[in-house]
Amino acid sequence: MPYLFTSESVSEGHPDKVADQISDALLDEFLKQDPQSKVACETLVTTGLVVLSGEVKTEAYVDVQKVARDVIKRIGYTKSEYKFDADACGVISAIHEQSSDINQGVERANPEEQGAGDQGMMFGYATNETDNYMPLALSISHLLLQELSAIRKEGKEMTYLRPDAKSQVTIKYSDNHVPQRIDTIVISTQHDEFVLPEGDSDEAKNTAEVEMLQQIEKDIESILIPRVLKLLPERTQKLFDNDIVHHINPTGKFVIGGPHGDTGLTGRKIIVDTYGGKGAHGGGAFSGKDSSKVDRSAAYATRHIAKNLVAAGVADQVLVQVAYAIGVANPVGVYVTTYGSTKVKDANGNLISDGEIADKVNKLFDLRPYAIVQRFGLQNPIFSETAAYGHMGRTPGTKMVEVLVDGKKTTKEFETFTWEKLDFVDQIKAEFNL
């Protein structure tokens, strides 16, 4: 029987994402000066206040107040009526040195034997239902808010938009897990009070609110969604029809938002950051953590494995789990499931098992923390870009960054989203005789 599956996303102005972006901006600033920095930064944002906390071991000096304010300004919180703006908010730092007990379990005389920064399990997932090997509902949810943010920053249409927003997309699937159509789209966007009531009566206030909501709904359907459709491949465009249910700001006006409307904390949007509820999640957040924390680095490594396996044609969808003990380099276990979608056969013509796939993954990929860091360049300042609109499914690229080398400032080019590269497809095909 056909079924529905739903994923959500949040904008860069969502309070939890504001916190994530500040934490990752701090991480990048430490790495610009000292690539060996050990960082675990947590951020809290609320009405008129930013609180920075966490543990750091570094040779770098970072003006944490400036970093936080620059992030807030870039996001768009620049007006006093937001009750949270870059120039006026307070910034308190309670960042201190990393525990020596933790550090001794991570660092080794031989860097290749670097231990995992903590115990835990991490998951990577990929599916061939989209061109970027991500779950469709999450991909569309992200894209809706990325375009909404672009419209806001262009300042030509929907000029009432404010930074905070959420989206949600529900997909109808067939029995064999193929997307059939978009069933429901939910968008809640913060906005100016651009229609004022003609008087103080409840009726006048209600009339003004209805007029605002009608305008927002009209603009979402006639401006935002057509822009999103143009960015989607033809096979996804066909899933949009005239029967989609739209819920636009379903609770009413959304003027009070951002950190004034809801306190934000680093690490509270881990499902938005990964696969929108598809696959699995080990529970560890990403932002503000350097790559010695396998919560982050191993999650990137398992995404890379899953994506390359699907791209090579091993299966239609793949979930990879890896688990570590704190201070131990080699993982305690690697698990793979293809949900019965394996395409590879053995010499006798039988489909190979998920256990056999896991054995080959162990052979092809070095999952020690040091190897992961080196493979993806995770001591580079490349994390600010990951902190909004998902860590997975993004397009690899490059960025120019001013860094400190031997005490001198210099500009270097770094690769971004390296874990999204399809650079192991040929090796996988060779290993699986594809």
Feature table: binding site: 14, 16, 42, 55, 98, 164-166, 253-254, 262, 268-269, 285, 289, 293
Separation between Cα atoms, residue 79 and residue 193, nearest integer Å: 14
DSSP code, position 82: G
Known binding-site residue numbers for ATP:
14, 164-166, 253-254, 262, 268-269, 285, 289
Q: How many CB atoms lie within 10 A of CB 297?
A: 27
Beta-carbon contacts of residue 5 (< 8 Å; ≥ 6 apart)? 135, 137, 170, 171, 173, 277, 278
Known binding-site residue numbers for K(+):
42
Known binding-site residue numbers for L-methionine:
55, 98, 262, 293
* 28 CB-contact burial (10 Å; exposed 0-12 / middle 13-18 / buried 19+): buried
Beta-carbon contacts of residue 348 (< 8 Å; ≥ 6 apart)? none
Q: Would you tell me the crossing angle of helices 64-75 and 15-33 to the nearest 10 degrees? A: 130
Report which residue type is found at 366.
D
Q: How far is CA 189 from the centre of its chain?
A: 19
Nearest to 136 by CA among 7, 4, 306, 280: 7
Instruction: Tell me the C-alpha to C-alpha distance, in Å, between residue 380 and each of 37, 70, 190, 361, 399.
Output: 10, 20, 34, 26, 11
Q: How far is CA 48 from the centre of its chain?
A: 26
Known binding-site residue numbers for Mg(2+):
16
